[in-house]
Amino acid sequence: MRRSSIMRLWLVLILAFQLTSQLALAQRASTETSRERRPNILLILSDDCGHAEFSIQGHPRYKTPHIDSIGKNGVHFRQGYVSGCVCSPSRAGLLTGRYQQRFGHEFNIPPAYSETNGLPRSETLLPQLLKEVGYRTIALGKWHLGYAPQFHPMERGFTDYYGFLQGSRSYFPLKKPTRLNQMLRDRAAIPEEKFDYMTDHLADEAIAYIKQSQSQPWMIYLAFNATHSPNDATAADLKAADGNKIYAMTIALDRAVGKVLDALKECNLSKDTLVIFINDNGGAGGHDNGALHGKKGSTWEGGTRIPFLVQYPAKIPPGQVIDEPVIALDLFPTILEVAGVGDEELKKCQFDRQKLDGISLIPRMTGKTQRLVDRPLYWKSGKRWAIRHGNLKAVAGNEDQGDQAGLFDLFSDPYEQQDLSATHSQQLHQLEALYHQWESTLEKPRWGSSPGKKSGSGTDDRSTDNP
């Protein structure tokens, strides 16, 4: 009798526990349903494209309607910059929201396996924070931030990865890939014969992830290697470009971006997806930077000015053109604001927002403010450096300069042709003082510049990203 009573009591307790658990789950589900879903983030990065090689940037021949549509459906920042004049440092700044020289990532990572060369583990990357608040974080394409396992994208906050680790590789399948340029699905190497042309293939991969990820917000970092060397193009694109290989590669890039944008529409996600398109540095040799002075590897405008396009139909009015200078470092705080990642969540992640060097662009893009805050922008690659504050820019150390820094007014002289240093020496000294104050806060470079070049030279042309 007593045993029977005990058994009945246990049964009642179990049923009560199950009922309580079911009610808690139902309440949690109801809360999640009623809470506004965080928007998706699509960050598209092209590689080595010339500043002028897009029709939205004014190229008379290149037609890039799909890339152009991002700016037309949102904001075209006509004075957009990156924080580095070559590939790897620029990416390090983008994903940390900090000047990469602060943690010694000043030069391209040498194209050889190393257990130590990579974006320092002490730095917090944007996907780490988004992952903590429920995002699926997907990296696709070129990595170029370290080759050893501890630098792998999935060790730096990405939940998924498909791409290659090195700075460049063929756009076609390789018969004998190396461990640096082989294609990886997450951490495992995969057969290469499964794709035809890299640019289209990365777009197809992005589309597959978009369609898989309907139940949770996602961030996709889509890092095309287009249009970096080698100048590989399909026969059809070459024909459409009248044999111009760089234009043929650009046709493929625009097509790929269009396919991904179409997938957003198909999945009814366009309105609630922040889409960003930028390039990683100024155009490399052989590319078209328009009338800008310099190219990739320099701290002239041609080395750091990029196309900078943003759309987010749910919040950002279309058709805006903004001429105030912005930098890729601004994208980290911008994305945090769009994703609704507040101070309390950052505190749980032990992340200090004050460490960021950029500012959120959301108030400017939504019309809450009429102008961006006035702040200096800095560039450094070995002996080459520059600072812009307002319309004035001091620049020094480039190959076509002497030892003296030049001073230029980018409002009246955007192509840096009229050196004002002799007549405006006081303004130059003020900018130099600001630059050297910033420089004093930086960490020593963790590795030298390109193989075969003197450490600290900062020299980098198209060949230095190659195997």
For 113, 153, 181, 223, 465, the CA distances from 189, given in Å and listed in that order, are: 16, 14, 10, 18, 21
**Alpha-carbon torsion angle 295, 298, 302, 304, nearest 10:** 120
> Which of the following is catalytic: 85, 87, 228, 287?
87
Whether residue 228 contacts residue 296, with contact meaning beta carbons closer than 8 Å, is answered with: no
Contacts 24+ apart (CB under 8 A), 426-430: 427/392, 428/394
Angle at which helix 65-72 crosses helix 245-266, to 10 degrees, equals 50
| Strand 75-81, strand 305-311: pairing | antiparallel
User: Which one-letter amino acid corresponds to residue 380?
Assistant: K
Region for residue 384 given its phi and psi (left: phi exceeds 0; alpha: psi -120 to 50; beta: otherwise): beta
CA distance 409 to 225: 34
Please give the structure tokens belonging to residue 346: 């950052």
Region for residue 456 given its phi and psi (left: phi exceeds 0; alpha: psi -120 to 50; beta: otherwise): left
3-state secondary structure at position 429:
helix
> Which of the following is catalytic: 66, 105, 144, 293?
144
Count of CA atoms in the C-beta half-sphere (13 A) of 395: 26
Q: Give yes or no: 85 in active site.
A: no
Contacts of 44 (CB under 8 A, 6+ apart): 222, 224, 257, 260, 275, 276, 277, 278
Q: Check residue 118 and report its DSSP letter.
A: B
Distance of CA 379 to the CA centre of its chain: 17
CA distance 236 to 421: 50
Closest by alpha carbon to 260, among 200, 215, 198?
Answer: 200
Region for residue 127 given its phi and psi (left: phi exceeds 0; alpha: psi -120 to 50; beta: otherwise): alpha
Q: Give yes or no: 144 in active site.
A: yes
CA distance 3 to 306: 79
Q: Which residues have a catalytic role annotated?
A: 87, 144
